[in-house]
C-alpha cells in the first residue's frame, strides 16, 4: 500500500516555480494593479476640479497594499515591488499633465466647453509636481528592491 512507483521511462517533473519567476509574476501583478488604479483615477480630474476617488481606485489601492505586504513577507524585505505600481501611475499622470500645464485652467462655474471655449483641469501644475515626487520615491524604492534582490542572484535556486 505504498506510493506507486513512476512508470518506466517517466521522469518526475518538479512543479515548484523558480523563485525568479515568482518575483517577476509579483512585479507584473503590481504593474496590472497600477494600471487599474490609473484607469480609475482618470475620472477624478475634471474641469470642475479634483473629484473623490471612486471604488476602482480604492479597490486597486487595497489590492496593491495587500500584494505589497505579501511580497514583502515572501521576499524578506520591506515594500518589495511597490515601486512598480507607483512608477506606473506616476509616469502616466506626469505624461498626461505635462501636456496641459500651459493650457488655461477652468474657472469655477465656467461656460460649457465648446470649440470656441476651452479650459482644462485646474490642478495640472500641482498634479505634475506630485507625479514627479512619486517617480522619485518609486526610483528610491526600486533601488532598495534591487539591492535586496542582488544577493539572491548569486545563489543557486533551492
User: For 1-31, how does the pLDDT look when each residue is reduced to its tens digit (9 = 90+)?
Assistant: 555 666 666 666 555 778 888 899 999 999 9
- Give domain status of residue 10, yes or no: no
Residue 99's domain spans which residues? Answer: 30-107+122-150
Q: pLDDT at position 119, please?
A: 86
- Give domain status of residue 76, yes or no: yes
Torsion angles phi and psi, residue 54, rounded to 5 = -90, 180
Q: pLDDT at position 109, please?
A: 84
- Give domain status of residue 144, yes or no: yes
Cβ contacts of 157 within 8 Å, gap of 6 or more: 18, 19, 20
- Give domain status of residue 12, yes or no: no
pTM of the model: 0.80
State the total domains in the chain. 1
Residue with cell 500645464: 101
- Give domain status of residue 158, yes or no: no
- Give domain status of residue 23, yes or no: no
> CA-to-CA distance for 54 and 41, rounded, in angstroms?
8
Question: Which residue ranges in the chain fall short of pLDDT 70?
Answer: 1-15, 153-158
Cβ contacts of 85 within 8 Å, gap of 6 or more: 30, 31, 33, 34, 37, 64
Q: pLDDT at position 115, please?
A: 87
Amino acid at each position: 500500500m505504498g506510493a506507486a512507483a513512476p512508470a518506466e521511462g517517466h521522469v518526475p517533473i518538479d512543479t515548484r516555480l523558480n523563485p525568479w519567476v515568482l518575483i517577476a509574476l509579483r512585479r507584473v501583478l503590481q504593474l496590472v494593479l497600477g494600471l487599474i488604479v490609473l484607469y480609475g483615477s482618470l475620472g477624478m480630474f475634471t474641469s470642475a476640479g479634483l473629484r473623490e476617488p471612486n471604488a476602482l481606485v480604492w479597490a486597486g489601492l487595497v489590492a496593491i497594499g495587500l500584494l505589497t505586504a505579501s511580497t514583502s513577507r515572501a521576499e524578506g524585505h520591506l515594500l518589495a515591488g511597490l515601486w512598480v505600481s507607483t512608477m506606473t501611475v506616476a509616469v502616466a499622470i506626469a505624461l498626461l499633465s505635462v501636456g496641459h500645464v500651459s493650457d488655461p485652467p477652468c474657472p469655477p462655474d465656467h461656460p460649457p466647453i465648446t470649440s470656441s471655449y476651452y479650459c482644462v483641469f485646474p490642478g495640472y501644475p500641482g498634479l505634475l509636481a506630485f507625479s514627479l515626487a512619486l517617480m522619485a520615491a518609486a526610483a528610491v524604492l526600486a533601488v532598495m528592491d534591487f539591492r535586496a534582490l542582488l544577493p539572491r542572484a548569486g545563489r543557486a535556486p533551492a
